[in-house]
Chain A
């Protein structure tokens, strides 16, 4: 499956994922702690520099990912423009852009496997509470494997629908799609069971 990682390798790819996530969290807290348009403007400019340092192609891909925010920017512009609080509106816009772009930057420069490792480390304390990190790893792999399969089945179902109907299918295919997902779940449960199910793995990595 396509992930949102960058099309090009950048300097930031070589930074440890945990460090990037930590810095990003601190920066995000700081962004939401201030109202000062000057500080927020400087932050947004800094994030823009971050994207620029990774090259033009990377920066374009990053800009595309900010596009879904436009309805909110329009909303802020209208609201604050009409009520005359322009400075507050500018501050909000800068904070929104900086925070989202910074988080996207971390996502774009971190491989999925590195992210999963960080998640496993963060979730390790929950192991004492009985959370099976093994079950979690398997579940993550299952979702990655089945999302394209379900999307493809949705496509096949809507073709089967259109072959006998002049109208486009909508919600009508959700029920057969859910039924297919459930049948798949039964097969997957068998496939897991055939190879040992969710057995806890003995700690063999430490020895060798």
Chain B
């Protein structure tokens, strides 16, 4: 499915900096992202998740600016709802409600849709994923992969122009991962996906490699991923596990 190209579908980071407890964890970072599929790679602690939270507006940057499709996601929460959705690493942290239907309905009601509209949209998204029989299912009884799919549907149903995925495949078996990847490949919205697994970026346009909160490389997916993999192997032979942060 071809994405609807809007001139303002631009994710712009201007001199972005994030600090936790006075300690810099990300930036300074200046980037313009317009690609349909953009990957963010890096090791644990490279600032990937912080970047995801800032882009989704869950956290305001310490300095600098984030603009996503024309708005500041941390300040304009109402505007952010139809511009950016985020899928957390752990679906248990994302699911709020006792049943699948309530979970998917929540975001729609937040956008100001009526109960009837929301119910119709829930039916539509469940039908699209061929999961109509999940409607009344209890969310805590689902498997990890099923929960992740519920989270994805709950985000997609809100029709955001951007979707931020934070390690969506960690903890899933290979078959479940492949199924989820297939669902994600069909998504019209622009995707910004964080992962440390180069294989999950099949079909991606651009990859950004973060190291220690700073930009290490940025460019077309294949060559950046190749150099990232080679570097990870090299570091794998060394022992830097013993270094403590700070």
Contact = CB atoms under 8 A, between A and B. Distances in A.
Check whether chain A touches chain B (CB < 8 angstroms). yes
Interface of A: 1, 138, 141-142, 144-145, 148-149, 152, 184, 187-188, 190-197, 199, 201-202, 204-205, 207-208
A195 B98 contact: no
B96 A194 contact: no
A109 B223 CA distance: 65
Given A195-B85, A205-B116, 5 more contacts: A145-B95, A148-B140, A149-B92, A190-B88, A190-B93
A188 B86 CA distance: 13
B114 A191 contact: no
A196 B110 contact: yes
29 contacts: A1-B98, A138-B96, A145-B96, A145-B139, A149-B92, A187-B90, A187-B92, A187-B94, A190-B53, A190-B88, A190-B93, A191-B93, A191-B94, A192-B96, A194-B56, A194-B57, A194-B88, A195-B81, A195-B85, A195-B107, A195-B154, A196-B81, A196-B107, A196-B111, A197-B110, A199-B78, A202-B112, A204-B112, A205-B115
A204 B113 CA distance: 7
A201 B78 CA distance: 11
B98 A145 contact: yes
A173 B53 CA distance: 32
A191 B98 contact: no
Interface of A is mostly: helix
Contacts of A196: 77-78, 81, 107, 110-111
Nearest to B114: A204
A141 B77 contact: no
Contacts of B19: none
Contacts of A148: 140
Interface of B: 53, 56-58, 77-78, 81, 85-86, 88, 90, 92-98, 102, 106-107, 109-117, 139-140, 154, 158
A144 B95 CA distance: 12
Given A191-B93, A196-B107, A201-B109, A145 B115 contact: no
Nearest to A198: B110
A202 to B, nearest CB: 5
Contacts of B117: 204, 208
A184 B94 CA distance: 10
A186 B98 CA distance: 18
Contacts of B154: 195
Contacts of A152: 140
Given A148-B140, A201-B110, A208 B116 contact: yes
Given A190-B93, A195-B81, A205 B114 contact: yes
A195 B116 contact: no
A141 B112 contact: no
A192 B94 CA distance: 8
A136 B88 CA distance: 25
B94 to A, nearest CB: 5
Given A190-B58, A208-B114, A197 B77 contact: yes
A195 B56 CA distance: 10
A131 to B, nearest CB: 19
Contacts of A187: 88, 90, 92-94
A202 B78 CA distance: 12
A207 B114 CA distance: 9
Contacts of B95: 145, 191
A199 to B, nearest CB: 6
B98 A141 contact: yes
Contacts of B56: 194
A207 B116 CA distance: 11
A86 B85 CA distance: 69
